[in-house]
Amino acid sequence: MASRGVNKVILIGNLGQDPEVRYMPNGNAVANITVATSESWKDQQGQQQERTEWHRCVLYRRLAEIAGEYLKKGAKVYLEGRLQTREWQDQQGQKRYTTEIVVNEMQMLDSRPGAGGGQAQQGGQGNWGRPQQAPAAQGQGGYGQQPQQPAAQGGYGQQGGYGAPAAPKPQGQQPQQPSYNEPPMDFDDDIPF
Amino acid sequence: MASRGVNKVILIGNLGQDPEVRYMPNGNAVANITVATSESWKDQQGQQQERTEWHRCVLYRRLAEIAGEYLKKGAKVYLEGRLQTREWQDQQGQKRYTTEIVVNEMQMLDSRPGAGGGQAQQGGQGNWGRPQQAPAAQGQGGYGQQPQQPAAQGGYGQQGGYGAPAAPKPQGQQPQQPSYNEPPMDFDDDIPF
Amino acid sequence: MASRGVNKVILIGNLGQDPEVRYMPNGNAVANITVATSESWKDQQGQQQERTEWHRCVLYRRLAEIAGEYLKKGAKVYLEGRLQTREWQDQQGQKRYTTEIVVNEMQMLDSRPGAGGGQAQQGGQGNWGRPQQAPAAQGQGGYGQQPQQPAAQGGYGQQGGYGAPAAPKPQGQQPQQPSYNEPPMDFDDDIPF
Amino acid sequence: MASRGVNKVILIGNLGQDPEVRYMPNGNAVANITVATSESWKDQQGQQQERTEWHRCVLYRRLAEIAGEYLKKGAKVYLEGRLQTREWQDQQGQKRYTTEIVVNEMQMLDSRPGAGGGQAQQGGQGNWGRPQQAPAAQGQGGYGQQPQQPAAQGGYGQQGGYGAPAAPKPQGQQPQQPSYNEPPMDFDDDIPF
DNA sequence: TTTT
DNA sequence: TTTT
């Protein structure tokens, strides 16, 4: 409900491998993805250098399902979340720590294969999920025949219920909308400058 | 529910004046605040320069109420939101545009007056709301005798209902919490470094 | 040099039209771009709604040149900058205000046309600049035959000199690099998890 | 010079202990700080819960010096940086990983002790550095008698020279300033709303 | 270790 | 209008 301080991470990068999705006893999905960001620079000898940073990210519930459905190795994504370091024990019983980004917002940044009409199914190089599947395998995702590029937001435990299988419940977050008595704001079809 | 693109603003600044809170017909609160950020630099002649930027911000529902209750002129705040430009007409019937930050998260950054025990009475210079009030005037805010520093998050239309007077309903956002079957993460009592 | 407060904007969106680049007397480039972000939601009647927000952005110097060279209408970009409201006078001598994002970091998010081999030349739909040019017409940009996807960072006055034509000077910002006596960090070729 | 992707962290939190500052052979300062953020929520049984997250942060050069000089245990700061995971070996020769935030911007969020006149001397509870020192012990910091609240930005390798002791050189980053032929922007004395 |  |  509240928080003291701000703990925010923003990433744009590419998946190092396909998402790993698993389900908890209560039916909630959890997905792990690893995302690479990189920077390059010239060192003091003028040599071009590059360094890749790998980020371990975890997504829950609806976000996990979307990730599992639509992302694959190489996909470019925008992620927003918070840092969390968890403790675990290695085989020797030693305490270890792993820092992860708990994602609460995701945007896919690859242009959709098959977008824009025609262009047809399959993929392979588009980094979108399930490209090899038969065209009829759809439906579960709820994104329709021509699946909309899903852009997902998932606050903290946003889908409400723990203990219930993830379902397409109404999101707790809708845009803060122009109420009748606010000034008009219709920008839908023209650019104001 | 969804969004294409990212539209995010992060501000830390000081209120130029007390918040203006009003209520919509449906009972929802709306608050307007103006926040200053400033930067200083040396120009090419070596003169110290400073420029203040004023940001017009709008808060809705619970956030508006908290702002009205706890913020006042001079208060330092962290704000997160999105940009929104709305069109209006001036007296000559000319189209005008105003860009505002629609706030969906807020953190007060002033230390509470009277926090920590002792440290003296009243406020007046602490930039917290209602400092001149009699000590007994509490209660309405629901923050208890020793009101907790409120840190508030308000997604898009987060408090659920339009058309209902704002009430302290459960937030749509709770921390994404360690469920029983997730990896252990208990940092409560020891530190990883 | 310093700033009191934080004034930060993060956008991911698409250009509404080609960048407009002009040059100042001192030779510095200035580019204006308009970027759309949009969100969609279901209203209370269950109707799908969408709202597009248009952001007026301004880029200076090297960033302006890169924008002019590589971006075009429809291109998807990541932008980071700060809000700035400037005053101007309309024809009636009335004070008007326009809020812009002064961009200091930019990332192009479209996959390069012609990247990865095959996929072929031409453009038109790739949203990258100068797509109709002959393949040999390159060179000015300094991005080579197979131009690297430019990712640019431009702090405040980053290219150092005012008063000089923008040149590919060394950036004032290089990655904060592992100095000899810091712990080794070579992640270049393996994923650590 | 460039980067592919975005790797950004934004924190507001409190220092768990005084900064640890050390110097590299080339004279550059490095500071380590640990910063706490926390969130609280009600669990499913209605119990108030709280979780504190600890962030390991590293600052270089001028930022490190400022941190060492002005921050102390308990201080509240705004930090911006990037995630970096470095590999090291434990005593058993095992590979270990530690994730840190490499800070490139910092803002102190505590109000200065002794600011505003009167308000009394010394510190101890103000979380500003060196509070127990004799008033004359100043000078090294270059912030004057009444030290300005330092707000610091330090890009990547921002202070220019490696291999030289950090000195108050001109920052590579000045505000992107209104040049003569840009639209007027003088907000110094009037407010747009 | 912090803070409320 | 704020803040330092």
CA of C139 to C1' of E2 (A): 54
Q: Which of A4, A40, A42, A84 to mutate to test the interface with D (most CBs of D within 10 A)?
A: A4
Question: Distance, angstroms, CA B166 to C1' E3?
Answer: 29
Does D51 contact B10 at a Cβ distance shorter than 8 Å? no
Q: Please report residues of C whose CB lies closer than 8 A to that of B107.
A: none
Cβ <8 Å between C175 and D158: no
Instruction: Please tell me which residue of chain D has the smallest CA distance to A43.
Output: D1
Q: What pLDDT score does B4 carry? A: 85
- In this structure, what is the dihedral angle of CA atoms C122, C124, C129, C132, given to the nearest 10 degrees? 50
Give the nucleotide at minimum CA-to-C1' distance from D148.
F4
Tell me whether residues A11 and D5 touch, CB distance under 8 A: yes
- Residue D129: per-residue pLDDT: 67
Q: What is the mean pLDDT of residues C115-124?
A: 37
When comparing pLDDT for A164 and A59, which is higher? A59
Q: Which residues contact A186 (CB under 8 A, 6 or more apart)?
A: B87
Q: Which nucleotides on strand E sit less than 7 A from a protein beta carbon?
A: 1-4
Listed in sequence order, the residues at least 6 apart from D81 whose beta carbon sits closer than 8 Å to its beta carbon are: D8, D9, D57, D101, D102, D103, D104, D105
Residues of A in contact with B156 (CB under 8 A): 173-177
Beta bridge partners of B24: none
In A37-66, the residues whose Cβ lies within 8 Å of chain D are 37-42, 44, 53-55
Distance from the Cα of A51 to chain C's closest Cα (Å) equals: 6
Q: Does D4 touch chain A (CB under 8 A)?
A: yes
**How close A176 gets to chain B, by Cα (Å)?**
4
**Of the candidates A119, A129, A159, the residue with the CA atom closest to the CA atom of residue A27:** A159
Q: Which of B88-92, C165-169, D173-177 has the highest mean pLDDT?
A: B88-92
Identify residue D164 by its one-letter amino acid code: A
Per-residue pLDDT at C126: 57
Residue D35 is inside which H or E element, if any? Answer: strand D29-42
Determine the distance between D152 (CA) and F4 (C1') in angstroms. 13
- Token pair 């509470």: residue: B112
**pLDDT score for D3:** 79
DSSP chain C: -EEESEEEEEEEEEESS--EEEE-TTS-EEEEEEEEEEEEEE-TTS-EEEEEEEEEEEEEHHHHHHHHHHB-TT-EEEEEEEEEEEEEE-TTS-EEEEEEEEEEEEEE-SPPTTTTSSS-S--SSS-BSSTTS-TT---TTSSTTTT---EEE--TTTT--SSS----PPPS-------TTSPP---SS----
Q: Which site among A106, A111, A173 would you substitute to test the B interface, given the most B Cβ atoms closer than 10 Å to its Cβ?
A: A173
Is the CB of A188 inside 8 Å of chain C's CB atoms?
A: yes
Best B3, B26, B90 residue to mutate vs chain C (most C CBs within 10 Å)? B3
Q: Please check whether residue A165 is in contact with residue B179, taking contact to mean a CB–CB distance below 8 angstroms.
A: no
Q: How far is CA A64 from CA A27, A71, C129, D18, in A?
A: 12, 10, 36, 39
Cα torsion angle, C188, C189, C191, D2, sign? positive
Point out the residue among D49, D107, D193 whose CB comes nearest to the CB of B56.
D193
CB of D127 under 7 A from strand E?
yes
- Is B91 touching C (CB cutoff 8 A)? no
Shortest Cα distance from A52 to chain D (angstroms)? 9
DSSP string, chain B: -EEESEEEEEEEEEESS--EEEE-TTS-EEEEEEEEEEEEEE-TTS-EEEEEEEEEEEEEHHHHHHHHHHB-TT-EEEEEEEEEEEEEE-TTS-EEEEEEEEEEEEEE-SPPTTTTS-S-S--SSS-BSSTTS-GGG-STTSSTTTT---EEE--TTTT--TTS----PPPS-------TTSPP---SS----
How far apart are alpha carbons B175 and A155 in whole angstroms? 8
**Cβ atoms of B33 and B25 closer than 8 Å:** no
Tell me if chain C has a CB within 8 Å of the CB of B23. no
Residue B177 reports pLDDT greater than 80? no
Average pLDDT over all residues of chain A: 72
CB half-sphere exposure, C149, CA atoms < 13 A: 19
A-C CB pairs within 8 A amount to: 68
Rounded to whole angstroms, the distance from the CA of residue B67 to the C1' of nucleotide F3 is 19
Q: Which of residues 9-38 of B touch strand E (CB under 7 A)?
A: none
Tell me which chain D residues have a C-beta less than 8 angstroms from the C-beta of B51: 175, 187-188
Pairwise pLDDT comparison (D112 vs A8), residue with the higher score: A8
Between CA D60 and C1' E3 the distance (Å) reads 25
Tens of pLDDT, residues A71-88? 999 999 999 999 999 999
At C147 the pLDDT is 41
Better pLDDT: A74 or C92: A74
Predicted TM-score (pTM) of this structure: 0.74
**Cβ of D54 and B187 within 8 Å?**
yes
Does residue D146 carry a pLDDT above 50? no
Return residues with beta carbons within 7 A of strand F.
B 13-17, 34, 36, 38, 40, 50, 52, 54, 73-74, 76, 127; C 4; D 111-112, 115-116, 148-149, 190-193
User: Interface partners of D (3+ CB pairs, < 8 Å)?
Assistant: A, B, C
Least confident of A93-102, B44-53, C14-23, C115-124: C115-124
With beta carbons under 8 A apart, name residues in chain B contacting D192.
54
Write the pLDDT tens digit of every residue in A109-158. Answer: 997 654 433 323 344 455 776 544 443 333 332 233 344 455 676 644 33
Percent of chain D with pLDDT over 70: 59
Judged by CB atoms closer than 8 Å, whether chains meet at B85 and A181 is answered as no
Residues 64-83 of C with CB under 8 A from D: 78, 80
CB contact under 8 A, B55 and C83: yes
Chain C touched by D157 (CB under 8 Å): yes
pLDDT confidence tier of residue B129, bands split at 50, 70 and 90: low
* Structure-token pair, residue C47: 């109707």
Neighbours of B119 (CB within 10 A): 11
* Identity of the residue in B41, B85, B96 whose CB atom sits nearest the CB atom of C53: B85
What is residue D138's predicted lDDT score, i.e. its pLDDT?
33
User: How far is the CA of A65 from the CAs of A68, A165, B31, B84, B178, in angstroms?
Assistant: 5, 12, 37, 31, 18
The set of strand F positions with any atom below 7 Å of a protein CB reads 1-4
Please, are residues C90 and B95 in contact by the beta-carbon 8 Å criterion?
A: no
- Residue-wise pLDDT for C58-83, tens only, equals 999 999 999 999 999 999 999 999 99
Check: CB of residue B34 under 8 Å from CB of residue C29: no
Q: For C5, which of B37, B44, B85 is closest by C-beta distance?
A: B37
Identify the bridge partners of residue B4 per DSSP, sorted by sequence position: C38
Share of chain C above pLDDT 70, in %: 58
The pLDDT assigned to A4 comes to 86
Read off the amino acid at residue A5: G
- Nearest residue to F3 (CA, C1')? B14
Based on DSSP, count helices (H) and strands (E) in chain D, helices before strands.
1, 8
**Which tens digit of pLDDT belongs to each residue from D51-107?**
999 999 999 999 999 999 999 999 999 999 999 999 999 988 989 999 999 999 999
Mean pLDDT of chain D: 71
Residue nearest to nucleotide F2 (CA to C1'): B16
Can you give chain A as a three-state secondary structure string? CEEECEEEEEEEEEECCCCEEEECCCCCEEEEEEEEEEEEEECCCCCEEEEEEEEEEEEEHHHHHHHHHHECCCCEEEEEEEEEEEEEECCCCCEEEEEEEEEEEEEECCCCCCCCCCCCCCCCCCCECCCCCCHHHCCCCCCCCCCCCCEEECCCCCCCCCCCCCCCCCCCCCCCCCCCCCCCCCCCCCCCC
pLDDT of residue A169: 34
Residue from A14, A10, A37 nearest A110 by CA: A14
Contacts of D110 in chain B (CB under 8 A): 111
- Cβ of D17 near strand E (under 7 Å)? The reply is yes
